[in-house]
Amino acid sequence: MASYETFDYDVLIIGAGGAGLRAAIEAATGDLKVGLVCKSLLGKAHTVMAEGGVAAALANVDERDSWRAHFADTMRGGQYLSNARMAELHAKESPDRVRELEAWGALFDRTQDGSILQRNFGGHQYPRLAHVGDRTGLEMIRALQDHGIHQGIEVHMENTITTLLKTGDRVSGAFGYEREKGRFKIFSAKAIVLATGGVGKAYKITSNSWEYTGDGHSLAYHAGAELIDMEFVQFHPTGMVWPPSVRGILVTEGVRGEGGILTNSEGNRFMFDDIPELYVNQTADSTEEGWLYTQGDREARRPPELLTRDHVARCIVREVHEGRGSPHGGVFLDIAWIKEKIPNAQEHIRRKLPSMYHQFKELADIDITEEPMEVGPTTHYIMGGIRVDADTQMTCVPGLFAAGECAAGLHGANRLGGNSLSDLLVFGKRAGEYAAQFAEENGAVPLEDSSVEEIAQHVLKPFDNPEGGENPYQIQSELQDKMQELVGIARSQESLTQALEEVQTLREKAENVHSIGNREYNSGWHTALDLDCLITVSEAIALAALERRASIGAHSRDDFPEKEEQGAGKYNTIVHKTEDNTMAIRREPVPELTEEYEQIIEEMG
Amino acid sequence: MDKATFRIWRGDANEADFVDYETEVSEGMVVLDAVHRIQAEQANDLAVRWNCKAGKCGSCSAEVNGNPKLMCMTRLNDIPLDQPVTVEPMRAFPLIKDLVTDVSWNFKVKEKMKPFTPRPPDAEDGTWRMEQEDIDHVQEFRKCIECFLCQDVCHVLREHHLHDEFIGPRFFVYAASLEMHPIDTENRLEELKDLDGIGYCNITKCCTNVCPEHITITDNAIIPLKERVVDQFYDPIKKLFRVFGG
Ligand SMILES: Cc1cc2nc3c(=O)[nH]c(=O)nc-3n(C[C@H](O)[C@H](O)[C@H](O)COP(=O)(O)OP(=O)(O)OC[C@H]3O[C@@H](n4cnc5c(N)ncnc54)[C@H](O)[C@@H]3O)c2cc1C
Ligand code: SF4
Ligand code: SF4
Ligand code: FES
């Protein structure tokens, strides 16, 4: 018999990034007992890395902004595959969620009149991103953390959940281990919120950390929830490309928001060469107009560098493929050029983009106030994820909720920058609120002991496997290579079919991973356990990518360049687990937009 | 490819020692990359914390050749590779395993401090008006990534182990961010003097020197807080005023 500690909660939150913390704070407003589990230390989740800002139509900088404009921008950015109700709630509620952070101690940069300053970002018609230099995520997670620790939430840091427990149809708890000693913990809960973030570790070149192994996606999938639109993985156009050890680290879109331009080896601003139809009316037709836009000229239209991320990433890949790349296989991102335009440019850049300045200075010996950066696409975010109800964030499994990056619906085929941080706040709060309500309305369900023993055995298997078995890091690295190569920016029937086979092979290999050492803070063992999730989400991404025979948003098929498959209409792809434990996929049409929504979109141009 | 030797602290609270690992090094690598390569190829169970690999999360603190550093921001071309590079955990905190230490004390300290308490909103929509120049210095403090390197070097903690009487530089920075926050109404000076041990700090500035976020901990946070404490509790004229002023 394995031994374990047990904990009882009304609401258990898995994940302590922006979404999890906001959910926990909300769930704890009554007198419910709330537990919060996270893999790293508190305050280190991905949210801390977010740079550019949080999108909210506060209209502090441009009074023409409104929730309707934000709604329309989000829908357009998502190529109209987003859940419109979520886009509405998000646009309407994000201003309050941002203001509320100030009541908890956050200090955003200010406008002249002392209110929250907002900056331009790709796909947003008006300056909309509240920010603190380029360290907005740090400000956000710290404000939530410092407020959260006084709300009576019990925090389990450096604990990993490996399995959700169900009793009948309902979710009833979770099984996990603590990293320090490797001991098991069982959490029983009336309601559970997944807020585990993304899947970036499935790829070689990524801005994401070791934590992003798709745990929430996989937990939900195995518990019977559905995953939608998993093919939409966002490749952020600007990651570092040199030196090799920092390849993939993010270069915030804020650089372009502040006037940074993209050029190729011929010195050409190639983004002007290809402007998608959906955006022609909103895009500058001269470099001067683009510059004026970044400086707040309200009559000017945005420079093409600030088109949506999917498009910018593809243009960069095109330049590199056609031989116009930079020395290390990227393109140039130049912010230093603004010294032609403004006095004190160097100081201005260091003040507006302090962490970019340091990042390049310290990691690449590049002074961004003097010379251009080299950048190229990096795996950044997943639009797809756990399917939830728009209002409550509940999955199809009673008592199981999801919010933040691991949930899906808001971003459709492509996410706009800044719309994630706001997503976390709006839907984190909603998930916390409705999970609490669910817990209040439904009593506790007893855990079924029999499954626990089996889970424990599975978790310990890497130690029991014979010595000389597979090295977990090796398998992870092979998977990343395959996903990068076969399920990256350019995909085809052939590459995706091959990817599914490779994933299968790696799944079999992973069965034999061997962990050396003991259970105490054993990174190799943890990596071995994360493989389960990583392989599950990789399969889901490849399967969904194979199903969508079109090139739309972040998903590009070489063999289907058209935006829509003939006669197929708009649909979401839905991955779920069948009774015989295999992964199945189906399509569901995207519901027709209501007249009201149609009208807003039309009105907002 | 060139090779270099990394002398890494291995073991747990009961028993630990340096172990040498030789690994390949290439252009642009940081210490964390080398540690990861060793972990992946030679020591799967090596314990190390990291998240962002870009100096933003404050997870990968360690002592490299004896200097408190973020491993992800310490480039190999800044250290001599002709001799072994030592990589040790932070020494001011109890060892869990290898490079991972028990930093939970820091989280407990913060929980005990008086939280942010804003004045009523200035505007009807529940917001406040603040000038950028009034928040510049608080934003400096809020850059803190909680790497705890400053705690690691402060002799009051590292050598004198006064963890029960002294909150350490990180939390003076935190206290300063609250005390100087333009809309906060709480007063934390009594705690700073009596419970938090600000008097133990003798302004050696070791904390400021290691802060990867370049926060001027001593000059901008600790000294002004010390002055406020003196003003409130020791300044005889002010004290007199308080007695008569009620
Ligand atoms: C470098 C970078 C910059 C970005 N910049 C921006 C930006 O400017 N604007 C914007 O809107 N978005 C930005 N994003 C995206 C945004 O930061 C993320 O999408 C968002 O922070 C995700 O938040 P979350 O709360 O969903 O998850 P996270 O903050 O990633 O938190 C996930 C949590 O779940 C925990 N967890 C995961 N698995 C388990 C498990 N099995 N058991 C227990 N706990 C688990 C983790 O430990 C962690 O606490 C950026 C992302 C990156 C990487
Ligand atoms: S200045 Fe004070 S707080 Fe900082 S290291 Fe020296 S004694 Fe410690
Ligand atoms: S003040 Fe500086 S050194 Fe101290 S914890 Fe914060 S970032 Fe680290
Ligand atoms: S890994 Fe985040 S600071 Fe080093």
Question: What is the set of domains in chain A, with CATH numbers?
Answer: 4-55+66-107+131-234+380-441 (3.50.50.60), 240-377 (3.90.700.10), 452-589 (1.20.58.100)
Q: Does residue A544 have a pLDDT over 70?
A: yes
Q: How confident is the model at residue B27 (pLDDT cuts 50, 70, 90)?
A: confident
pLDDT at A567 over 90: no
**Percent of chain A topping pLDDT 70:** 100
Q: Which residues contact A345 (CB under 8 A, 6 or more apart)?
A: A336, A338, A339, A369
Distances (CA, A) of B25 to A474, A539, B7, B60, B69: 19, 34, 15, 19, 19
Distance CA A203, CA A463 (A): 26
pLDDT range class, residue A296, cuts 50, 70, 90 = confident
Residues B129 and B209 in one domain: yes
| B87 belongs to a structural domain | yes
Answer whether A40 sits within 8 Å of B59, measured CB to CB.
yes
Q: List, as ranges, residues 290-349 from A with C-beta within 8 Å of B.
A: none
Give B36-69 pLDDT, tens digit per residue.
999 999 999 999 999 999 999 999 999 999 999 9
User: Strand A54-55's sheet: what is its strand order?
Assistant: A54-55, A129-130, A118-119
Task: Tell me which of B106, B145, B167, B214 to substitute to probe ligand 3's pocket, judged by most ligand atoms within 8 Å of the beta carbon.
Answer: B145
* Closest C-alpha to B6, from B68, B64, B49, B59: B64
- When pLDDT is averaged across residues A541-570 and rounded to a whole number, the result is 93
Domain final residue pick, B72, B101, B130: B101
Q: Cα separation of A71 and B132, whole Å?
A: 30
Please write the tens of the pLDDT for every residue from A118-169. 998 888 999 999 999 989 999 999 999 999 999 999 999 999 999 999 999 9
> In the block, which residue shows the tokens 């050749």?
B65
The CATH number linked to B75 is 3.10.20.30
Q: Are residues B90 and B115 in the same domain?
A: no
A273 within 8 A of A405, measured Cβ to Cβ: no
Is A350 part of the annotated catalytic residue set?
no
What is the DSSP secondary structure assignment for residue B76, as one 8-state letter? G
- What is the C-alpha to C-alpha distance for residues A324 and A318, in angstroms, rounded to an integer? 9
> Encoding tokens for residue A498?
């091959």
pLDDT at A551 over 60: yes
Our count of domains for chain B comes to 2
Please give the average per-residue pLDDT across A341-345, as a whole number.
93
Query: A84-93, A548-557, B230-239: which has the minimum mean pLDDT?
Result: B230-239
Specify the pLDDT at position B216: 98
Average pLDDT, chain B: 94
Residues B210 and B126 in one domain: yes
Both B33 and B87 in one domain: the answer is: yes
In a domain, B244, yes or no: no
Mean pLDDT, residues A260-268: 96
Look at residues B74, B101, B128 and tell me which one is the last residue of a structural domain.
B101
A383 close to A233: Cβ distance less than 8 angstroms: yes
> Residue B166's domain is classified under what CATH number?
1.10.1060.10
Instruction: Report how far residue A418's alpha carbon sits from residue A55's, in angstroms, rounded to the nearest whole number.
Output: 5
Residues B95 and B117 in one domain: no
A80: how many CB neighbours lie within 10 A of its CB?
A: 19
B155 lies in a domain? yes
Same domain, B95 and B109: no
| Co-location of B82 and B141 in the same domain | no
In a mutagenesis test of the B interface, which of A523, A526, A531 is the best target, namely the one with the most B β-carbons within 10 Å? A523
Per DSSP bridges, beta strands A154-156 and A34-37 are: parallel
Instruction: For residue B84, give the DSSP letter.
Output: P
Q: Is residue B246 assigned to a domain?
A: no
The answer to whether the CB of A227 falls within 8 A of the CB of A540 is: yes
Backbone angles phi, psi at A289, to 5 degrees: -60, -40
The number of angstroms, rounded, from the C-alpha of A288 to the middle of its chain's C-alpha atoms is 33
pLDDT grade for B246, boundaries at 50, 70 and 90: very low
Residue A95 has pLDDT above 90, yes or no: yes
Looking at the fold, whether B81 and B125 belong to one and the same domain comes out as no
pLDDT (tens digit per residue) in A219-237: 999 999 999 999 999 999 9
Range of the domain at B166: 104-238
Residue B51 CB–ligand 4 contact under 6 Å = yes
Residue A2 confidence (pLDDT) above 80 = no
Q: Are A571 and A587 in contact (CB under 8 A)?
A: yes
Q: What would the DSSP string read from start to end of A22-74?
A: HHHHHHTTSS--EEEE-SS-TT-SGGGG--S-EE----SS-TT--HHHHHHHH
Last residue of a domain, one of B53, B71, B101: B101
- Per-residue confidence at B238, pLDDT binned at 50, 70, 90? low
- The answer to whether residues B52 and B110 belong to one domain is no
- Shared-domain flag, residues B80 and B93: yes
Same domain? B50 vs B108 = no
Residue closest to A249 by CA, chosen among B57, B161, B211: B57
Residue of A nearest to B76 (CA): A363
Closest listed ligand to the CA of B61: 4
Flag whether B243 is in a domain: no
The atom of ligand 1 lying closest to the CA of A213 is 38
Q: Percent of chain A at pLDDT above 90?
A: 89
Query: Mean of the pLDDT values across residues B143-156?
Result: 98
pLDDT, mean of residues B229-236: 84
Closest CA relative to residue A91, chosen from A74, A67, A127: A67
Question: Token pair for residue A276?
Answer: 């998608």
B25 and B139, same domain (yes or no): no
Supply the Cα-derived Rg of chain B in whole angstroms.
Answer: 21
**Residue B131 backbone dihedrals phi, psi, to 5 degrees:** -75, 145
Q: How confident is the model over A555-566, as a mean pLDDT?
A: 92
Q: Are B63 and B122 in contact (CB under 8 A)?
A: no
In a domain, B15, yes or no: yes
- Which of B45, B56, B103 faces A49 most closely, judged by CB atoms? B56
How much distance in Å is there from the Cα of B221 to the middle of ligand 2? 11
What value does the mean pLDDT take over residues A360-382?
Answer: 94
Q: Testing the interface with B: which of A41, A132, A373 to mutate, by most B Cβ within 10 A?
A: A41
What is the position in ligand 3's atom list of the atom closest to the CA of B146?
A: 5
In a domain, B245, yes or no: no
**Catalytic hit among A236, A309, A350, A526:** A236
pLDDT (average), residues A178-203: 97
- Tell me the average pLDDT of chain A: 95
Q: Is the pLDDT of residue B245 over 80?
A: no
